[in-house]
Amino acid sequence: MNELELLNWARGPGLAYASIIMFFGISLRLLEILSLGRPAEYADTRDDGVKDGLIMIVKRSLPETRHWKYITASYIFHIGLFIIVFFFTPHTQFFRDIFGVFWSGWPNYLIDVVTVLSIASMLYMLIIRITDPTRRILSSTGDYLVWILTFLPLITGYLAFHRLMLDYTLMLALHILSVELLMIALPFSKLTHSFTFILSRWYTGSNFGRRGIKS
Amino acid sequence: MTHAKQTLAGELLKQGVSRRTFLKFCATMASTMALSPSVSHAMADALAKAPRQSVIWLSFQECTGCTESLTRSHKPSIESLIFDFVSLDYHHTLQAASGHAAEEAREHAMQAHKGKYLLLVDGSIPLKDNGVYSTIAGMTNLDMLQQVAKDAFAIVSIGTCAAYGGLPKAAPNPTGAVAVSDIIKDKPIINLPGCPPMPIVMTGVLAHVLAFGIPELDHLGRPKAFYGDSIHDRCYRRPYYDRGLFAKSFDDEGARKGWCLYEIGCKGPVTHNACATLKWNNGTSLDRKKSGHGCIGCSEPDFWDAGGFYKALSTAAGNPGSWAVNGLAAGAVVGIGSALINKKVKQAAIDESGKLTAEDMGGQS
């Protein structure tokens, strides 16, 4: 198999398997979580908890002042990843092909800056995770695995775009394959937060509201 | 035979080509192939003394486009004179002889220049059903290739079909087409892919073979001098790619302004060829691109099956919408099943534990 065949496989069958597994997992996990329902309330509830649920969604998304360096890095990484995924022109083509909706991509040099910042943020967070004793104790193998799976698409994409290291075709194939690994891991790891974070924040907030705890 | 006595220098002089013009040609060729400037003199000496090379050209599952590309170049050039200089002992389209006489010419050349003739092949070789899908003079392409390749000193696979299987090999590959290199393993093979390859690439490689032997090849058997860069890296539209300015269709403002064709399917980023530097039509045109069409990737293996000429390289090759729907549906079925089981387990646990009493919690009754 040469690099173009690998690329064609990654864009075709590879992507098909990854998509099916990812959407299978998302559907499965959401149904499992939702079907658990709420635990029985043995006391009268204050109210229906909707207001506190909504407050929590916003509040837990806002920055905090403690650990400001780590939190800033985390913000840069999350917002950066969002921009890269949805506003790099080749990616917009991918989404247009699927959804039929088109929005203009950002110029490459802007995406380039965002990518470097995101990669730097990820590296910074990894170093803190390893050097800070508390975070090291709290980190499991899964955390490091998820870090690697998220980092690979970023670094391979960056290397492919700049024609660094390997042949572009091969690097592009590896980039797409690394995204597929991420897609497969997404519903079955801590990465589920990408589609459950609003739900879980609302759940926590509304539970607080029902029991009279300040969100 | 008279072949050995004739040299290229003599032939060119006879055609009215001055030594100065010949040296200029050698310098151009040397720089085109990224050889050092001093090599041009060595090339001139070697080419001038080169004896007339016997060439057998076999055409298998092909469209004759490669021959067209070579023979219908803009004007008779010194490159084409070099091609005229070789002794083309067998070529379906160009030879005068036909039938038995043609096959005799091939067999004669094979005997007379045993181990010295150059074999040029265009077209892929069908293997399915014992190769019956393409035969010449009652011989399958496979038999003829093996027979002629046996005593050739090197093979040049001209065009993507001979180099990688090309169009005949495209899915579902009804004839079981393969490339020359899939069959012949014991001879040096130079791949010159392209649909068709550039005339200057063919003559340049021929000149290199006559003067110095086999040129340096990449991992896909292509001369690095011509296939080292991607179309994208040398494209005159590249600045627009970097600025995010793309033609969205073939007749919009971007297309008229000559913006990047990535979004309408250009395969330049993964295609290695010399189109962007040497250009077509006597150096005036970047083949399809100057006419407003993206690169289709014709010098890469399996370019026909790379997800469509008009779909951007970053899009999925297939139907991602249906993959997502199938995945969601399967997940829903298993998820509902899992939810029911969870509920059952939960209920069983409640039933088993019964009502909680003070004793259960370690208190005194």
In angstroms, the separation between the Cα of residue B36 and the nearest Cα of chain A is 25
Residues of A in contact with B314 (CB under 8 A): 90-91, 93-94
Which residue has 């200029």 as its token pair? Answer: B24
User: pTM of the entire structure?
Assistant: 0.79
Residues B148 and B297 in one domain: no
Residues B200 and B289 in one domain: no
Separation CA B268–CA B231 (nearest Å): 5
Q: Which of A2, A6, A28, A31 is nearest to A180 (CA)?
A: A6
Site from A3, A26, A27, A175 to mutate, B interface, most B CB atoms within 10 angstroms: A27
Contact assignment for B338 to A32 by CB distance below 8 Å: yes
- How far lies B301's CA from each of A205, B142, B159, in Å? 56, 20, 11
What pLDDT was estimated at residue A21?
94
Residues of A in contact with B313 (CB under 8 A): 90, 172
Contact assignment for A11 to B317 by CB distance below 8 Å: yes
Separation CA B244–CA B209 (nearest Å): 43
Nearest CA in chain B to A169: B270
Contact assignment for A90 to B313 by CB distance below 8 Å: yes
In angstroms, the separation between the Cα of residue B272 and the nearest Cα of chain A is 10
Residues of B in contact with A35 (CB under 8 A): 335-336, 338-339, 342-343
Contact assignment for A19 to B327 by CB distance below 8 Å: yes
A 83-122 residues with CB < 8 A to B: 89-91, 93-94, 96-98, 102, 104-109
What pLDDT was estimated at residue B2?
45
Query: Which of A94, A107, A172 lies nearest to residue B244, judging by beta carbons?
Result: A107
Separation CA B230–CA B246 (nearest Å): 19
Nearest CA in chain B to A187: B331
Nearest CA in chain B to A105: B244
Separation CA A119–CA A151 (nearest Å): 7
A172 touches B: beta carbon within 8 Å: yes
In angstroms, the separation between the Cα of residue A68 and the nearest Cα of chain B is 34
Residue B365 lies in a domain: no
According to DSSP H, which parts of B199-268 are helical? 199-211, 224-227, 238-243, 253-257
ipTM: 0.73
Separation CA A215–CA A53 (nearest Å): 8
Query: Which of A23, A91, A106 lies nearest to residue B327, judging by beta carbons?
Result: A23
How many inter-chain contacts (A to B, CB under 8 Å) are there? 147
Contact assignment for A11 to B307 by CB distance below 8 Å: yes
Site from A5, A9, A22, A32 to mutate, B interface, most B CB atoms within 10 angstroms: A32
Residues B164 and B281 in one domain: no
- How far lies B30's CA from each of A92, B7, B70, B211, in Å? 43, 20, 20, 11
Q: How confident is the model over A162-179, as pLDDT tens digits?
A: 988 888 889 999 999 999
Contact assignment for B305 to A104 by CB distance below 8 Å: no
Residue B315 lies in a domain: no
What pLDDT was estimated at residue A77?
96
Q: What CATH code is carried by the domain that includes residue B149?
A: 3.40.50.700
Contact assignment for A108 to B242 by CB distance below 8 Å: yes
Residue B243 lies in a domain: yes
Residues B273 and B129 in one domain: no
CB-based contact B188:B209 (threshold 8 Å): no
Site from A93, A113, A177 to mutate, B interface, most B CB atoms within 10 angstroms: A93
Residue B113 lies in a domain: yes
CB-based contact B150:B184 (threshold 8 Å): no
- Domain of B340? 323-353
Contact assignment for B230 to A5 by CB distance below 8 Å: no
What pLDDT was estimated at residue B81?
62
Residues B14 and B163 in one domain: yes
Residue B314 lies in a domain: no
Residues B202 and B291 in one domain: no
Q: Which of A213, A155, A19 is nearest to B330 (CA)?
A: A19
Residues B255 and B191 in one domain: no
Separation CA B123–CA B125 (nearest Å): 7
Separation CA A105–CA A91 (nearest Å): 8
Q: Which residues in chain A land under pLDDT 50?
A: none
Residue B149 lies in a domain: yes
* Number of other residues whose CB lies within 10 A of the CB of residue B266: 28
Walk across the sheet containing B154-158 and list its strands: B87-90, B54-59, B118-122, B154-158, B189-192
Site from B315, B342, B345, B346 to mutate, A interface, most A CB atoms within 10 angstroms: B315
Residues B186 and B66 in one domain: yes
Nearest CA in chain A to B246: A89
Supply the DSSP symbol for A110: H
Separation CA B149–CA B120 (nearest Å): 10
Query: Which of A15, A29, A169 lies nearest to residue B270, judging by beta carbons?
Result: A169
Q: Of B186, B210, B226, at which residue does a domain stop?
A: B226
Residue B42 lies in a domain: yes
CB-based contact B300:B272 (threshold 8 Å): yes
Q: Of B226, B243, B267, at which residue does a domain stop?
A: B226
Domain count of chain B? 3
Residues B51 and B144 in one domain: yes
Q: Which residues in chain B land under pLDDT 50?
A: 1-2, 4
What pLDDT was estimated at residue B45?
84
Residue B312 lies in a domain: no
Residues B166 and B290 in one domain: no
DSSP-assigned letters across all residues of B159-217: HHHHHH-HHHHSTT-TT-EE-GGGT--SS-EEEE-SSSPPHHHHHHHHHHHHHTSSPPB
- B269 phi, psi to nearest 5 deg: -60, -25
Site from B267, B270, B295, B340 to mutate, A interface, most A CB atoms within 10 angstroms: B270
Contact assignment for A11 to B315 by CB distance below 8 Å: yes
Separation CA B28–CA B126 (nearest Å): 39
Q: Of B226, B248, B274, at which residue does a domain stop?
A: B226
CB-based contact A182:A176 (threshold 8 Å): no
What pLDDT was estimated at residue B358?
74
A 25-84 residues with CB < 8 A to B: 25-32, 35-36
Contact assignment for A98 to B321 by CB distance below 8 Å: yes
In angstroms, the separation between the Cα of residue B44 and the nearest Cα of chain A is 34
Residues B34 and B157 in one domain: yes
Separation CA B58–CA B122 (nearest Å): 6
Residues B144 and B270 in one domain: no
User: What's the token pair of residue B98?
Assistant: 């036909």
Q: What CATH code is carried by the domain that includes residue B257?
A: 4.10.480.10
